[in-house]
Amino acid sequence: MPAGGAELLYRTLRKRGVDTRMVRYPREGHELSRSGEPAHVVDRIERIARWFDGYGGGDVPPALERERNAGLSAADEGGDGGASDEE
């Protein structure tokens, strides 16, 4: 969605009382998740994880405080979910 459309959606949601945030990353476009600046990619992922943590889960610890692969179905089945420790 072009920035103008995103701003319009954001303003409309706010006007209707929806708790919402709009985050812009300088120098980024739609490829942020694949080829964005590393600090922007990490920030985006952390924001997504915290958003999900805010919607229940009961006794599940927040995503950023869990052990690696804790509670992930791919890890429970012996896979690594595509994650790698290689640097």
64 with 49: CB under 8 angstroms?
Answer: yes
What does the domain layout of the chain look like in residue ranges? Answer: 3-66
pLDDT digits (tens, 9 = 90+) for 7-55: 999 999 999 999 888 888 999 888 888 899 999 999 999 888 888 877 7
pLDDT digits (tens, 9 = 90+) for 77-86: 444 444 433 4
pLDDT band at 58 (very low <50, low <70, confident <90, very high): low
pTM comes to: 0.58
